[in-house]
Amino acid sequence: MIGIVGYGSYLPRYRIKVDQIAKQWGADPESIKRGLQLYEKTVPGLDEDTITISVEAAKYALKRARIDPQKIGAVYIGSESHPYAVKPSGTVLIDALGIGPHVHVASYEFACKAGTEAMFVAYSLVKASEMDYALGIGADTSQGAPGDALEYSASAGGSAFIMGKENVAAEILFTNSYTSDTPDFWRREGEFYPRHAGRFTGEPAYFKHILNAGKNLLEKSGMSPKDFKFAVFHMPNGKFPQEAGKKLGFTKEQLEAGWIVPWMGNTYSGSSPTGLSAILDLAKPNDKIFMVSFGSGAGSDGFIFQVTDEIEKVRSLAPKVKDMLDNNKIYLDYGEYAKFRRKIILNE
Amino acid sequence: MISPRYAREIPQRYRLEAGRCTVCNAIYFPPRLICPNCKSKSFEEIKLNEEGTLLTFTIIRVGSEKFSKEVPYAVGIIELKDGVRLTAQLADCAVDKVEIGAKVKLVFRKIQEEGKWGLHCYGYKAILI
């Protein structure tokens, strides 16, 4: 049996409400909340970035996995906000957590699906018996240009998954990927904010890739939506994953546990992985979970998990996503938010 | 350029590695070569507990250049559960919420950055729990 032996998530304490952002740009907050189904989002502190978020999430994954960090043979961090253009994020993480130095480390990028890429490769290495354990992380401190629709959703957070063969809490039964060259969203080298192609990010990008990856995954597994207790999809806003789920035949009830975007925002590479983490926080043994990520550019990775008895032993060993979403929140106004996200130009 | 010094301090700043004297059990952070208590040169490496209590603190309202955009913030002396005391910046809290005796936890954060071009320097800070 191969799958997740430990999982952990981290969300910053800072928040900004949609109303604050709408007020700044003269938009109607109620129509945004209704249209995008977003209410507030996480904001990284001045001292938080993809590396610090990854370290905290991986620390919790290690607590749940109850393994010697030295046994981890690979560490992959997927993000589109790695703090360095040249210097891997994972090197800091391995030294912070006592992993390695005999370990393979890499930074991954693929817009919002870099996290599931990291998970997929970590899983594949364990499946190939190259190593006993591998760590895949999706984390971001995503940026949306001031006044752009993305500003209402781009948030911060991440999740880490340790793949292994012993004491598996959620077995990976099937995987499937669907990828094509689709120019829906990009950021050129040296540019601060990403650009997107407006409505083109919907049907030809998000839905095409999620639905194809999802349909292929169902076909490959011989399962139907009724076989699953939970489903989670990439969450660029509240509306898209609900629509994608409905088109694939999943009900609102199946999506509910992982649908955390209205209060978290879009944590990009950490989006569907954190939804998965929220599901694992309450899933029961034998529950099946259907998951499909999406990354602009574009591609989707699909996974089918089956939860095992082990989940009951590990769940309470680290903080749960819902607790991090609901407690210790510090709300910012737009001025503070602009400072925290370094949107204000300062003299050097 | 602080790279060499930064690299040398990684075991303490990233992983809270300390030295415990194998003769008298005194813990030193950062580790020492000779135990001031029993003069032993024999130490074992340990990782400090991440939770502790805030013994005292001060509020920084005029920060040094690299911290000037973070004011006001608190810096405190924390006694960890294994008895070791260390100084750390408090993160994620309004300064009027900080109280002596508060329970805290050390977290991994960016401590400073060397301008726009230099290193991001990471280490521990404390948050209220």
What domains are there in chain B, each with its CATH number? 4-128 (2.40.50.840)
A68-124 pLDDT per residue, tens:
999 999 999 999 999 999 999 999 999 999 999 999 999 999 999 999 999 999 999
A52 closest CB neighbour out of B15, B69, B110: B110
Comparing A80-84, A338-342, B2-6, B66-70, which segment has the lowest mean pLDDT? B2-6
Q: A-B interface: how many C-beta pairs under 8 angstroms?
A: 53
pLDDT value of residue B2: 72
Tokens linked to A121: 């490769």
Top-tier CATH class for A171-307:
alpha beta
* pLDDT band (50, 70, 90) for residue B36: very high
Say what the pLDDT of residue A291 is: 98
A197 in contact with chain B, both atoms CB, cutoff 8 A: no
Predicted confidence (pLDDT) at residue B116 exceeds the cutoff of 90: no
Which stretches of chain A drop beneath a pLDDT of 50?
none
A31 C-beta neighbours (distance < 10 Å), count: 10
The residues of A annotated with a catalytic role in the active site are 80, 112, 234
User: Which residues are CB-neighbours of A338 under 8 A, at least 6 positions away?
Assistant: A146, A344
Beta-carbon separation of B109 and A83 below 8 A: no
Check for a shared fold between A3-169+319-340 and A171-307.
Answer: yes
Q: What is the dihedral of CA A165, A168, A174, A176, to 10 degrees?
A: -80
Question: 0.90 cut: is pTM over it?
Answer: yes
Instruction: State whether B107 and A56 contact (CB < 8 Å).
Output: yes
Residues of B with CB under 8 A from a CB of A: 10, 14-15, 47, 69-70, 91-94, 107-111, 115-116, 120, 122, 125, 127
| Substitution target from A47, A50, A339, A342 for chain B, most B beta carbons within 10 A | A47
Model pLDDT, residue A192: 84
Which sequence spans correspond to the domains of chain A? 3-169+319-340, 171-307
Per the CB < 8 Å rule, is A92 touching B14? Answer: yes
CA distances from A207 to A78, A144, A224, B66 (A): 22, 21, 19, 45
ipTM, 2 decimals? 0.96
The span from the CA of A307 to the CA of A277, in Å, is 12
Phi-psi region of A209 (alpha: psi -120 to 50; beta: other; left: phi over 0): alpha
B5 pLDDT more than 90: no
Q: Is the dihedral of CA A170, A174, A175, A176 positive or negative?
A: negative
CATH topology of domain A3-169+319-340: Peroxisomal Thiolase; Chain A, domain 1 (3.40.47)
pLDDT per residue over A271-302, tens digit each? 999 999 999 999 999 999 999 999 999 999 99
